[in-house]
Amino acid sequence: MMQLQRPQAPQSLKENYKKWGREYEQKLENPKANNDFSWKGKYQEISDLLFEITKNHCCFCDIHPLKASGATVEHFRPKSKYPKLSYFWGNLFYCCTNCQKKGDNFPLDYKLLKPDQLSFLFEHYFIYNFSTGIIKPNTARTFNEQKRAENTIDLYGLNKYGRPEARILERKKFFSANNPNINDYSFRFILE
Ligand SMILES: [Zn+2]
């Protein structure tokens, strides 16, 4: 996970997110309605903007190039439980299909870490094991922070899907390249 510096919301979201969120909430409350989610024709614009600011990396696992492996826009707080936030810019993250398996899960007790928090820093919350490729919560932090890091690892499967092995390989590739550009690699949080 890398810190995400989010620019202003697209104008259409800024103007309509409350109204569209209320509409979606009403759809969910009406069992007879077809409550399929619609992006109101804004998916491409949102996805292109997120592509640009993440440099085509997944906001959670940081895999790259994301578009090649199936990019999607994730509702951080699931739209089934937080319909009012379904078009809220701060709730939308560029995400890979594995991280999206988080689905409707959203822990209420210790929550999840959010990469666009101003204070978010990988090394604050996590410890990376260079020989196993595994990520663990940083035990130097408060109980609350460790729980949030643990929930984030579990729900996004940060140690699943062959990711620890892939992280070890990516570091090797990066450190043996001549003058590499960090944005061309996955897992930038362990490459510095
Ligand atoms: Zn991912």
* C-alpha span between 77 and 82 (Å, rounded): 6
Whole-number Å distance, alpha carbon 98 to ligand 1 midpoint, is 6
For 150-181, write each residue's pLDDT tens digit.
Answer: 999 999 999 999 999 999 999 999 999 999 99
Domain regions of the chain by residue span: 11-190
* Full-model pTM: 0.94
Q: Name the amino acid, one letter, at 70.
A: G
Whole-number Å distance, alpha carbon 59 to ligand 1 midpoint, is 7
The helix (H) or strand (E) run that includes residue 93 is strand 92-96
For 51-106, write each residue's pLDDT tens digit.
Answer: 999 999 999 999 999 987 789 999 999 999 999 999 999 999 999 999 999 999 88
* C-alpha span between 70 and 63 (Å, rounded): 11
* C-alpha span between 28 and 16 (Å, rounded): 18
* C-alpha span between 177 and 103 (Å, rounded): 37
Whole-number Å distance, alpha carbon 113 to ligand 1 midpoint, is 14
Whole-number Å distance, alpha carbon 100 to ligand 1 midpoint, is 7
Strand, helix or coil at 45?
helix
| Bridge partner list, 128 | 135
Which two structure tokens, joined as six digits, stand for 108? 């209420």
